[in-house]
Amino acid sequence: MIMKIGIIHLFYISVLILASCQSEPDDMKPVGNWYLYEADMDSVLLSQSFIERAKATLESSNFNFQTNKNFEIVDMSFSGGSFTGIWDYSAEKKKLTLFYPDFHIDPEEYEVIKLTRRTMIIKLKVESYGFFVYKLRKIKE
């Protein structure tokens, strides 16, 4: 009888351990608040002074990806602007897409270079302009 109770307790403990180890679904990995700490740009059309100003503006931005697939990008620099929209992430294609319904512009499709619990590196190719690489760090909540 004692052995049977011990086995039952061991079973419950095993279930609790397995439940706590389960990770979030792949399509929800971007969820959370992210700080853009480094922006790299490679463009032959944009002047170096414009690139430096853009980097300074971008490197003070926060990205908030919510579980309901809404997002907000808050520019913490001098402009203080914010942008909202809907996000989608495909782990299989390694693609993060940002839709801006209020602006009636094409979605931004980022290649996801790295996505961990604390780090996200995304790359945007803009036709005829070049590449933009954003390095983000998750903000502790």
Has residue 17 been placed in a domain?
no
Neighbouring residues of 47: CB distance < 8 A, sequence distance ≥ 6: none
pLDDT at 33 over 90: yes
Mind listing the pLDDT tens digit for each residue in 77-130?
Answer: 655 678 899 999 999 999 999 999 988 889 999 999 999 999 999 999 988 788
Would the pTM count as exceeding 0.85?
no
Counted domains in the chain: 1
Has residue 2 been placed in a domain?
no
Q: Give the residue numbers spanning the domain of 58.
A: 25-138
Domain containing residue 86: CATH number: 2.40.128.20
Pairwise CA distance, residues 112 & 2, whole Å: 53
pLDDT at residue 20, as a whole number: 43
Question: Running DSSP on this structure, what letter comes out for residue 116?
Answer: -
pLDDT at residue 22, as a whole number: 47
Three-state DSSP at 140 gives: coil
Beta carbons of 84 and 75 less than 8 angstroms apart:
no
**Both structure tokens of 100:** 């801006």
